[in-house]
Amino acid sequence: MQNIEAVVGVLRNKNQEILITKRQHSQFMAGFWELPGGKREAGESLEQTLARELNEELGIKIKHFSVHRTITHQYQNSIITLSIYNINQYQKKPKGMEGQAIAWVKIKNLGNYKLLPTMKTFLDSITLPNKYWITPAVNHQSDEWIKVLEQKLIQGIKLVQLRSKIPLHNIIIDEVKEKCQQYNATLLLNTPNKDFNKTDVNGWHLTSRELFAVNARPCADDKLLGASTHNLDEALKAQEIGANFIVIAPVKVTQTHPDAKPLGWDNAAEIANKIDIPVYFLGGMSIQDLDKTLKLGAQGIASISAF
């Protein structure tokens, strides 16, 4: 089986639309839409491939980029290792330099296009941030707790898990929801009193116990669903029921669960690369671990105290 390394770039315009290109008749899987990019040539670094491909395809010169994540996708006769980069700054207006059609598309409308299988596997990935903040599980009604929440949002956190071991009153949930809306952040509920029929929330996060209590996706497709997992079987179960992403833990030794055996970087990376949905690493993570997690194929890191 052939192993292929490839890169793609995620370009966004001022309307936060994503640029996609259409494969031509002479290409494999002609007529499908994809992110711009291509295969790594011998002697090239992935970054050199990215610069060359985007210049050849779109006529642009990259000025600043960052690693988004790496995914692996298996076709019938080949395995594609795909490195995804955010193109943060570039020169010149993108054009179809090789005669291919290009389109700027809102993320919510990407599903209307005939996308490559690899595109479908990371639609969630290109919309999710690389930091997932999990709130402290107690004292939600205190002014100090709300101040901590607002501080995180001011710092730029865009994905929040409201975690509680006891049912929370709707007044508390609504206050947190309003704060998140104020800062354009996505709020997922992880409380014992989950109501998957609620329409005024962004989504939910399942515990590993809740994960194995369901046989299908418990919420509507337009809601975001995360799940906590600790091994490959649980990760595959989350993917099977239609979770949008998982958290895998613990990757390293943690102060809160010192007796829990850590997975270690290699095992966590193996899980991340055996499933198609995004994976956040949790457990002993610090902000200094972010680059490493991205290079290992994870979406990013999840934490209570690292951010």
Last residue of a domain, one of 121, 144, 175: 121
Tell me the CA end-to-end span of the chain in Å, nearest whole number. Answer: 42
φ, ψ of residue 124 in degrees (nearest 5): -65, -35
In this structure, are 88 and 181 located in the same domain? no
Q: What is the pTM of this model?
A: 0.76
In this structure, are 154 and 242 located in the same domain? yes
In this structure, are 66 and 32 located in the same domain? yes
Rg (Cα) of the chain, in Å, rounded?
20
Q: Which residues have a Cβ under 8 Å from the Cβ of 124 and sit 6 or more positions away?
A: 244, 245, 277, 278
- pLDDT per residue, tens digit, the chain (307 aa), is 788 899 999 999 999 899 999 999 888 888 999 999 999 999 999 999 999 999 999 999 999 998 877 777 777 788 888 888 999 999 999 999 999 999 999 987 888 899 887 676 667 787 899 999 999 988 888 888 999 999 999 999 999 999 999 999 889 999 999 999 999 999 999 999 899 988 888 999 999 999 999 999 999 988 999 999 999 999 999 999 999 999 999 999 877 666 778 999 999 999 998 888 899 999 999 999 999 998 888 999 999 988 8
Number of domains in the chain: 2
In this structure, are 116 and 148 located in the same domain? no
Domain extent, residue 238, equals 131-303
In this structure, are 102 and 170 located in the same domain? no
In this structure, are 6 and 111 located in the same domain? yes
Q: How far is CA 31 from the centre of its chain?
A: 26
Q: Is residue 72 part of a domain?
A: yes
Rounded to whole angstroms, the Cα distance separating 299 from 180 reads: 21
